Amino acid sequence: MGEDPKGPRTAYRDLFRLHGRRTLVLGAGSGIGREAAHGLAAHGAEVVCADLDGDAAASTANAIGAGAEPYEIDLLEPGAAEQMASRYAETHAVVITAATNVRKRLADYTRDEFDRVLTLNLGATFEVIRAFGPRMEHNGGGSIIAFSSIRASTVEPGQGPYAASKAGLVQLLRTAAAEFGHAGVRANAIAPGVVETPLTAQIKSSPEWYQAYAAKSALGRWARPAEMVGAVVYLASDASSFVTGAVLAVDGGWTAVDGRFEPPAS
């Protein structure tokens, strides 16, 4: 007897369902993190909205309503990630969006500025992975999602330490995929192009700079934070059950297109 055709179709409809699963979003107070929290909740997840700014975290959680709660955290405080993971040990997915940047040429960078960028972008992510990875391993599965960048593979003047931190982030996640994968724990990176967030305010303030970045994208524009949500939900859900150690580019074709010159067809 053949397989009931309604069975697979029903299962496929549930691929993106997150009902009954707790997700934790770091950086949920604004930008990509805030939209990710809303998107995960829209697919049924219980969402912990974590942020350095407790009021912003509460604002996101209140806007989501039932099933969301705020959590104030300074990821640079020793033991903060471990304390958070202990409180939310039964967590299905962790989304890491917190990051910072100092745009300067290498010769102008101070060691303090270098340490500030690497400590948050790479060091804090290491602490989160180290705190949640073993707990997900014990629970029999989970998803760790962190935001890298196109700068992990393409650079420009003034982006050195930031680019290095985002490239290192990819390798941390791949290592987590290798070490925790036997228990069904997946670890993946999302690599956006230019997104209109507080982190890119310096670029947005310069019309020439803003337009140059827009022109570099194959789509000819910047991304909105909401356009990162699909990738987050995908990687948090069963739709990506065999995806780990991957880097998902959500960059409008930035890294696929070599410049914007269009040579004649013949």
Active-site position among 71, 88, 162, 234? 162
DSSP, residue by residue, 175-240: HHHHHHGGGTEEEEEEEE--B-SGGGHHHHT-HHHHHHHHHHSTTSSPBPGGGGHHHHHHHHSGGG
Residue type, 122: L
Cα separation, 162 vs 140, whole angstroms: 34
What counts of helices (H) and strands (E) characterise the chain? 10, 7
Note the pLDDT of residue 207. Answer: 84
Q: Is 12 a catalytic residue?
A: no
CA torsion angle 92 191 84 142 (round to 10): 20
Q: What is the mean pLDDT of each run of 10 residues along the chain (266 residues)?
A: 54 94 98 97 98 98 98 97 98 96 95 97 97 98 97 93 98 98 98 84 80 86 94 98 98 84 65
Domains of the chain are 19-250 (3.40.50.720)
Note the pLDDT of residue 210. Answer: 84
**Percentages of the chain per state (helix, strand, coil), in multiples of 5:** 50, 15, 35
